[in-house]
Chain A
Amino acid sequence: MHGKTLLKMRGIYKSFPGVKALKNVDFTLCEGEIHALMGENGAGKSTLIKVLTGVHIKDEGSIFITDTSGADQEVQIRSPQEAQKNGISTVYQEISLCPNLSVAENIFLARGESALVNWRTMNKKAGELLDNLGIAVKPTQQLASCSIAVQQMVAIARAVDMDCRVLILDEPTSSLDEHEVAKLFMLMRQLKERGVGIIFVTHFLDQVYEVCDKITVLRDGALVGEYEIENLPRVQLVSKMLGKELDDMADIKDEVPEFKATGEAPVYEGKGLCSSEGISPFDFNIHRGEVNGFTGLLGSGRSECVRTIFGADKVTGGTVKMDGKEVKISKPKDAMKNGIGYLPEDRKRDGIVGDLSVRDNIILALQVKTGFFKPFSKAKAVEFANEYIKLLDIKTASVNTPIKSLSGGNQQKVILARWLLTHPKYLILDEPTRGIDVGTKIDIQKLVLKLASEGMSITFISSETDEMLRTCSRLLVMRDRKLVGELTGDQLTQATIMNTIAGGDKNAE
């Protein structure tokens, strides 16, 4: 059903200082095929794309492009220009066109043709091209006044007109609504008819199963496999992306004590919460001493949920009750006043204050809570810092060491210490174990269970499902920015989690 091979990447290796981003990856694209490239964060999707488009230069391996006569040509791609010369075009998530120019200008801009522009011909040619592709927009319209979907399609039209044979769409749908996505898919199918090979990178499973013909899965920089879409049910895909075979997902959950809610009102109860980050309104509650968690693939909206709870993003709706009393949480300070703590997902960007000492990083949240006019004496601050350095076994030369010179795991412990020092009723931990060594991971999981047994409520998020199974007594499952399920008790197994994440097809169990 597919045409002949168009692009072959063989044995691609790429390393960055300290990381092997790609290890012996093969990738094949045929004419007239929509090929999904799937994988979790850090799997190597974007590195592979960047090697193909000349943004990064591969360490080893070769790239072949089939020329018009049908022979394989090995090509060297060392810059985006070279990629373009070989017929490879990319449309990125953020549109890289000029919003203040017209549609036609954007299509023909900087194509290295002639210095003189015949505006009438240009507009006419652009009009024909757009008609041809069924994009309903006037060539003279200013790009900024078009919807994002149309802008994206203009970017695609530009690529098509540049004789592209391989079109890479990197997360094109993440800022589109359903209607716009449908339009984009129509265009993609048209291009497919014309024999263009499309590489489609997305996090949305539904979309993959709607338009794609083949799936290539990457994990930890290595190729997992290439599959025909009909041979790979959703659950299988999820398990391949996460790297867990369904067989060895026998119940490993044993140590989490069953959580029994008492009659009291929940510590935190939110109804119809939503934020500016575009998650569907969701309900959420947590009781005293409970550990629960949000799970789902990357980009499914699990971090956005907890950010809404903490007021880190702009909260656009919903009501919140804490201990049965209605409260308003619209910014982090409100949440902190109500006894909520939040350890963010991106430690470096949102967690640490790099140049400040371990001591200042530990006391920061409490000092904000106590207010501008109540600073701790230096002795008191050192005492607090030392207490938690000892409690959490933080490896640091002294309390005065800048936090940025600590290892990732120790930085994470410092941020944990910061929140523990505020004695929160409810603590949110978003990926507290990411990028840290195994020993520290286990320390943190143990600590979570200990804190819960002392009465703290904790929401724990981790991309490693078994970590969540070991700590959480209730899991909320997210898919495509919607809360799609809640798992408790016997449902807490790898298999059910994956089925719920994948949704739709149930026959894989």
Chain B
Amino acid sequence: MPNKMPSPPKTSFWARLFSHQIVIPIAALLILAIFNLISDPTFFRIVFKENSSGNKVLSGNLISIIDNGSELAILAIGMTLVTAASGGQDISVGAAIAIAGSAMLRILCGGSSSPTELQSPIILAFIVGVLVAMFFGAFNGVLVAFFKIQPMVATLILFTAGRSIASWINNGELPNVPGKEFTYFGSYIPGVPVPTPFLIAIACFIVIFLVMKFTNLRLYVQSVGINEKTARLNGLNPELIKLMSFVILGICVAVAALIKVSRISSINYSVIAKDIEMDAILAVALGGNALSGGKFSIGASVLGAYVIQFLTTTLYKLEVSAVALPAYKAVVVIILVVMSAPTVREKLSRLGKKLRSGKTGAESAKA
């Protein structure tokens, strides 16, 4: 063991950026952007035009990406915390969105399938949705934290049962929410040219940023995720922290559900947020977070979520049919995930170091 470490190397902004995990989604984003720039420069055009409901709004591919990727980005926040604390993933978020969305509709429509006016204020419906989603998050969390069930197996229960529960909440009906106000969450607020889902995602990101700044969430979650035994011996309660991460994911689920049901003012139990859990897990992986838990970066996961949406939109632009889309996506995902795997990154960084030291060695030899 070296007794004396070398003096701290001077790290430039770029060197620090490259050692950070966020470099992965950024690189993916750049590659996609360059690809689109070459294949079709108009991809990036953003225009200011009137939409169907008569608002002047921004529109274009980029706007569609930040609009449609927002539910995923919001879920990625919670999924990152669950992954970091428990070293596993929640595969029930899609089903949980169905449940939370159904609960909101039940409150808004009061049980009838097409009421003429809102039966309760939207805020009440949202609060109920949040509570319901937190409850189911806690259910998953208790199974994982206290009964020590593998997260994927534990959440498989809700994954299987969730959509039936969602349908049962509204007696199998598909209620339609009357009025315009409720559609604002999934489209545009009059007078605001930016899609509301994106604004909500930014708000969520700011909230989690503030929570991390003013609490010990990051330190506790990382400690539990990296070494549970040490965390316990330092007075932490690993079970409680895992449970908390699932409850936070529950809140994210409720927010995403609000956007999802607002988009169509109704719900389709078997289709809503289908397969979104896999994209959410993928966003976490793309963000360079270890799926086995430990250190995490929420910013990188959120960026990862938008990268996935960017990819989807790009493929649509290339006129890949909706049926073939998953296959194309899979190819790109394999490349991205392999590149972001810690072992590959380590090898790459070692290669980089070797190249650099080779260069300086050659230079000093010359001198």
Which of A's residues lie within 8 Å of B, judged by CB? Answer: 310, 312, 331-333, 336, 342, 344, 349-356, 360, 363-365, 367-369, 371-375, 395-398, 407-409, 418, 437, 439
Contact = CB atoms under 8 A, between A and B. Distances in A.
Contact of B5 (A397, A409, A437, A439): A397
B294 interface: yes
A350 B230 CA distance: 4
A375 B227 CA distance: 20
A356 B229 CA distance: 15
Contacts of B223: 353, 356, 360, 364
Interface string B59-99: 00000000000000000000000000000000000000000
A334 to B, nearest CB: 9
Given A356-B295, A397-B9, A372 B220 contact: yes
11 contacts: A332-B232, A351-B233, A353-B227, A354-B227, A355-B295, A364-B219, A372-B220, A375-B216, A375-B219, A407-B1, A418-B234
B219 A367 contact: yes
Contacts of B217: 372
Contacts of B5: 395-397
A350 B229 contact: yes
Contact of B236 (A368, A375, A397, A408): A368
A101 to B, nearest CB: 25
A312 B226 contact: no
Contact of A397 (B8, B229, B232): B8
A438 to B, nearest CB: 11
Contact of B1 (A353, A354, A398, A437): A437
A142 B2 CA distance: 55
B1 A360 contact: no
Interface string B220-255: 101100110111111111000000000000000000
Given A312-B233, A356-B223, A437-B1, A375 B215 contact: yes
A344 B232 CA distance: 12
Given A356-B223, A372-B216, A372-B217, 15 more contacts: A332-B233, A342-B233, A349-B229, A351-B230, A353-B231, A354-B226, A355-B222, A355-B226, A360-B223, A365-B234, A373-B214, A375-B219, A398-B8, A418-B234, A439-B3
B191 interface: no
| B interface: dominant SS | loop
Nearest to A368: B235
B54 interface: no
Contact of B216 (A336, A367, A398, A408): A367
Nearest to A415: B230
Given A349-B229, A407-B2, A407-B3, A355 B214 contact: no
B235 A353 contact: no
B4 interface: yes
Contacts of A373: 214-216
B130 to A, nearest CB: 21
A360 B222 contact: yes
Give 10 nearest A-B pairs by CB, closest first: A407-B1, A333-B235, A368-B235, A398-B8, A336-B235, A375-B216, A365-B234, A397-B5, A353-B226, A353-B227
B234 A332 contact: yes
Contacts of B233: 310, 312, 332, 342, 344, 350-351
Most buried by B among A336, A360, A371: A360
Contacts of B229: 349-350
Contacts of A437: 1, 3
B2 A332 contact: no
Contacts of A363: 219
Contacts of A368: 216, 220, 234-236
B308 to A, nearest CB: 26
Given A352-B230, A356-B295, A369 B235 contact: yes
Nearest to B290: A355
B47 to A, nearest CB: 43
A310 B6 CA distance: 38
Contacts of A312: 232-233
A468 B236 CA distance: 31
| Residue among B216, B231, B233, B236 with most chain A CB within 10 A | B233
